[in-house]
Amino acid sequence: MRHRVGGYKLGRNPPHRKAMFRNLATALITHERITTTVPKAKAVRPMVEKMVTLAREANAARQGGGNDVTHRRRLARELGGNRILVDRDLTDSTRAELRSEGYRVNKYHELQRGPKVVNKLIEDIAPRYEDRPGGYTRIVRLGKYRKGDGGELCVLMFVGDESGPQLTGQHSRRREKANRRAERAAQLRRGGAAAPAAGEAVDEALEPVSEDLEPLEPIEAETEESLEPDTEESLEPDQPEQGDTDSEAKDQAPDEGEPPSEDEPRRDNPGT
């Protein structure tokens, strides 16, 4: 029986599991959102929540004139050391640019010093949640599964970071439609006060035109007269043309070569 045994094993021994949790927490504080599997996100979430609460206490102690060294040491111990904050590929920047940002590299461009992860957690992330008693992270399921083992993927992110890039890093038409609707609504709100003034200007422009126009005469009587048929023309039958009568007469006359029919009398003998 597994009495009083909590947490996620995740198929790893304790040292490996602890190192993985520290790496996930460091990546979340550095980039403020990470893509991982749902069991890993649920496992590391309580650790990050407690670290943010400790950072809030450190920030409050520093603002009250106290000392936050103890809180910083505890946070560094949770992360396995006060690690250097690396949020991008530093090889793309020159040594002068890195020196202006607080980094120090040698002639081989190897990182030696730089801003710390604990400093960002206390000075940047903790002040956002001064009035929030817990619940600093959110798990968003992506509806996708990792190739190979089929693990369900999700995004672990800090609350309030939804305005950044897309969760999946891909193009989203739903986000574009929502942005267009918001812009259209803002335009309508801004143009609502100017709409009556524009309408008054149109009415003033149409007033002199309406005075010059003459009233139209009713056309009902004309339409009734036009619908009455012309009796004289309609009663007269159609007169065929001369060419048509000649052709009809030729069609009705029998041919000379054809013998007469039995009903007609024979006229060969004049005495009959």
Answer yes or no: are the C-beta atoms of 77 and 147 closer than 8 Å. Answer: no
In a domain, 107, yes or no: yes
Q: For residue 203, tell me if it sits in a domain.
A: no
* H helix intervals, 11-87: 14-31, 38-63, 69-78
Note whether residue 223 is domain-resident.
Answer: no
The DSSP element (H or E) to which 234 belongs, if any, is: helix 231-235
Domain harbouring 162, CATH code: 3.90.1030.10
Residue spans of alpha helices (H) in 101-164: 117-120
Tens-binned pLDDT, residue by residue, of the chain (272 aa): 889 888 889 999 999 999 999 999 999 999 989 999 999 999 999 999 999 999 999 988 888 888 888 899 999 999 988 888 888 888 888 888 888 888 888 888 888 888 899 999 998 999 999 888 889 999 999 888 998 889 999 999 998 866 555 555 566 677 778 888 888 888 898 886 454 454 554 455 445 544 555 656 655 555 455 555 555 554 455 555 555 555 555 555 555 555 555 555 555 555 54
The parent domain of residue 107 ranges over 14-168
Antiparallel, parallel or unpaired: β 137-145 and 111-113: unpaired
Domain count within the chain:
1
Q: Is residue 40 part of a domain?
A: yes
pTM over 0.75: no
> 244: part of which helix (H) or strand (E)?
helix 242-252
CA nearest 117: which of 55, 47, 43? 55
Specify if 46 maps to a domain.
Answer: yes
Question: Backbone dihedral region of 239: left (phi > 0), alpha (psi from -120 to 50 degrees) or beta?
Answer: beta
3-state DSSP percent of the chain in helix, strand and coil, to 5? 50, 10, 40
Does residue 78 lie in a domain region?
yes
Please report whether residue 182 resides in a domain.
no
Residue 239 resides in a domain: no
